[in-house]
Amino acid sequence: MPAAGVVMIVAVVAIVLALVYYLVSTILALRQITNGLDEVIASVGEIVEKSAPVEGVVNDINANLDAAVSALEGLLVKKAGMEDALGLIDGLYPGAAAQGLRDFPESREVIPPRIGEVYTKGTLTLARLGREAPIALANPTGPVLRNVESGSLAARKLYPDGRPEAAEALPRSPVIGADAPVQYEPRDDVGKPRKRFRSGV
Amino acid sequence: MTLWWIGDIVLLVVVLPVVIYLLHGVLQAARGIVPSVHKIAAVGAAGSKDLDATALLLTTQDQVRQTVAGVADYGGSLDVIIDDA
């Protein structure tokens, strides 16, 4: 065989060896990629499975909350009136009245009163629920209770000599028990039948 | 014979380097994908783990229903107790 033929065979063998090495290495890398993609697919499947009921649940929650918002807005407007309702909202959450009520688009045009300064009918009506509150004695149809211009002066009248400070020392709680300095003897009538008085006495 | 030698030289000098260069490029590209795939798998697993809390949405849904029912009850009572504006 001529030398040129031997060189040709060596060259072909070298090319084949290079092909084998690189193709086998590529196959191994592709197998690693396949295994990784299998893990990805498993995770994606879990994500899809776990997130499947989310839409229905969230829509149900939103529907319930929408109904609650509508009911509360309607109740507030019905009981306090549009202006006072927005005043109450703005008093609790400053600036919130500018957004208006969702079910009452016209509420965006209302200028909310300052409920913190003017007690309105709605507030008085709500306050009537507190039976011990002095404000409950007023008539909701009457004038405002608080003088807006000198409101602080009215509050100051409660303590004309200044607000009293707390007592320096409060009486201590009594010591009880067998070693207490003051022993309280048990009453004789405890445990006995209750005394009954004759009628007409 | 001369053409034979020319063919040998072409094989060794041109074909073999080109084959090695191209296969090396393919191998590097395949190996470059592997860490990316592993990172994606890790992110997917973490995302799946994050979604474990979605089961609690059922509890939230039930509590929202109960809360809204309570609000409706209170609202109905207030509607009766309080005068309209």
Q: Is the pLDDT of residue A147 over 80?
A: no
Cβ contacts of A1 on chain B, cutoff 8 Å: none
What confidence tens digit (pLDDT) does each residue in A3-56 have? 888 999 999 999 999 999 999 999 999 999 999 999 999 999 999 999 998 999
Residue A51 C-alpha, separation from nearest chain B C-alpha, in angstroms? 7
Residue A103 C-alpha, separation from nearest chain B C-alpha, in angstroms? 17
- A68 in Cβ contact with B68 (< 8 Å): yes
How high does pLDDT run on average in chain A?
79
Instruction: Identify from A17, A23, A40 which residue to disrupt to test chain B contact, counting B C-beta atoms within 10 A and taking the largest count.
Output: A40
A130: left (phi over 0), alpha (psi -120 to 50) or beta: beta
Domain ranges of chain A: 9-52, 54-116, 119-157
| DSSP code for B1 | -
- A136 in Cβ contact with A127 (< 8 Å): yes
What confidence tens digit (pLDDT) does each residue in A70-113 have? 999 999 999 888 988 888 888 777 788 888 899 999 999 988 88
Q: Among B8, B41, B72, select the one facing A4 at the smallest CB separation.
A: B8
Q: Contact A43/B41, CB-based, under 8 Å?
A: yes
Instruction: Identify from B18, B26, B37, B38 which residue to disrupt to test chain A contact, counting A C-beta atoms within 10 A and taking the largest count.
Output: B37
d(CA A42, CA A59): 27
B54 touches chain A (CB under 8 A): yes
- A112 in Cβ contact with A87 (< 8 Å): yes
Cβ contacts of B72 on chain A, cutoff 8 Å: 68, 71
Residues making up chain B, counted from first to last: 85
The structural domain count of chain B equals 1
Q: Contact B85/A80, CB-based, under 8 Å?
A: yes
User: Chain A to chain B, count of Cβ pairs less than 8 Å apart?
Assistant: 144
Q: Contact B11/A43, CB-based, under 8 Å?
A: no
DSSP chain A: --HHHHHHHHHHHHHHHHHHHHHHHHHHHHHHHHHHHHHHHHHHHHHHHHHTTHHHHHHHHHHHHHHHHHHHHHHHHHHH-HHHHHHHHHHHSTTGGGG-BTTBGGGGG-----TTT---HHHHHHHTTSTT-GGGGS-TTS--SS-STTHHHHHHTT-TT-PPPPPS-PPPPPP-STT-SSPPPPPTTTTSPPP-PPTT-
Q: Please provide residue A171's backbone torsions phi and psi, each rounded to the nearest 5 degrees.
A: -60, 140
Half-sphere exposure of A181 (CA within 13 A, CB side): 3
Higher pLDDT, B65 or A178: B65
Q: Among B34, B48, B81, select the one facing A29 at the smallest CB separation.
A: B34
Structure tokens at A88: 């109450």
Q: Which of residues 64-83 of B touch A (CB under 8 A)?
A: 64-65, 67-68, 71-72, 75, 78-79, 81-83
Per-residue pLDDT averaged across A162-169, rounded? 73
d(CA A102, CA A109): 13
Residues making up chain A, counted from first to last: 201
Contacts of A175 (CB under 8 A, 6+ apart): A181, A182
DSSP A23-47: HHHHHHHHHHHHHHHHHHHHHHHHH
Of the given ranges (A87-91, A116-120, B12-16, B56-60), which has the lowest mean pLDDT?
Answer: A116-120
Q: What range does the domain containing B59 cover?
A: 2-81
Q: Contact B71/A126, CB-based, under 8 Å?
A: no
The residue of chain B with its CA nearest to that of A123 is B85
Predicted confidence at residue A2, as pLDDT, reads 84
| DSSP code for B85 | -
Structure tokens at A195: 């005394």
